[in-house]
Amino acid sequence: MAEEKNRYRALLIIGLFVVATVSAGYIGYWWGTHAGHPGSKEVLSPQPHWITYTDSKLGFSLMYPANWSSGITKGGYLIFYGPADDKGHNPNIIVQAIFPPALGGSYSSIDDAASDILDQLKSHENYTLISYQQTRVCNESAREIVCSYSYGGIKIKQSQVFVQDPNTGYIYTILYMATEVNYPKYRQAFEKVRETFKLPE
């Protein structure tokens, strides 16, 4: 059971390099280089069973379920692990910030970033694009991709939103991944994470 759980987590993390990494413009090392999250803080929120995560270095904040665990992947991504099912499969929500071109990033808009991710997703086995639509995050125009594909023999469904800070030009992505069976169960949690996401002030 533990071996399968670790395998599934490893598959998702490996997949992130294909799915979530958007060229050399990512800023994940800002999280990864300070073990113990000295640049961030987690506090109980006024809402029961939710925790507010604030990154003082990048300036964004969000809320996530108290029964989920937070961490930093080897690639430097901020990740939240949901409860494992009876097969050891965890839903994941991953947050990433991408440099603007002025700081060496590759994308000047959320459409550029989303288009590149769409191209990368097409390489997955049994890839199906479910929707690609305009939405809103933190009162800003955003894009959302919902798709499914097979990875390591596991059927995965994911939703990824892209929102740009109008002041800094950073593009933030919030990615939700789960097995196709578990995806509906935790979709509401993902919706609340994105609803509570706040850009730097």
Q: How confident is the model at residue 66 (pLDDT cuts 50, 70, 90)?
A: very high
Number of domains in the chain: 1
Q: How confident is the model at residue 144 (pLDDT cuts 50, 70, 90)?
A: very high
> Is residue 13 in a domain?
yes
Residue 97 main-chain phi, psi, to 5 deg: -115, 140
pLDDT at 36 over 90: no
User: So what's the pLDDT on residue 42?
Assistant: 57
> Is residue 141 in a domain?
yes
> Is residue 20 in a domain?
yes
pLDDT at 162 over 90: yes
Q: How confident is the model at residue 193 (pLDDT cuts 50, 70, 90)?
A: very high
User: So what's the pLDDT on residue 87?
Assistant: 87
> Is residue 118 in a domain?
yes
Radius of gyration of the chain, Cα coordinates, nearest whole angstrom: 16
> Is residue 56 in a domain?
yes
* CATH number of the domain bearing residue 115: 3.40.1000.10
User: So what's the pLDDT on residue 48?
Assistant: 57
> Is residue 120 in a domain?
yes
CB contact at 8 A, 87 and 164: no
Question: Domain containing 108: what range?
Answer: 2-196
Per 3-state DSSP, the chain is made up of helix, strand and coil in percentages (nearest 5) of 25, 40, 35
User: 0.85 cut: is pTM over it?
Assistant: no
User: So what's the pLDDT on residue 11?
Assistant: 43
> What 3-state DSSP class applies to 12?
helix
pLDDT, average across residues 158-182: 95
pLDDT at 47 over 90: no
Whole-number average pLDDT of the chain: 81
Tallying the residues shown for the chain, one arrives at 201
**Cα dihedral sign for 166, 168, 169, 174?**
negative
pLDDT, average across residues 113-140: 94
Neighbours of 141 (CB within 10 A): 14
pLDDT at 148 over 90: yes
Provide, rounded to the nearest whole percent, the portion of the chain with pLDDT above 90.
58
> Is residue 201 in a domain?
no
Q: How far is CA 91 from CA 14, 27, 43, 57, 136, in A?
A: 15, 23, 22, 26, 23
Amino acid letter, residue 129:
L
pLDDT, average across residues 169-196: 95
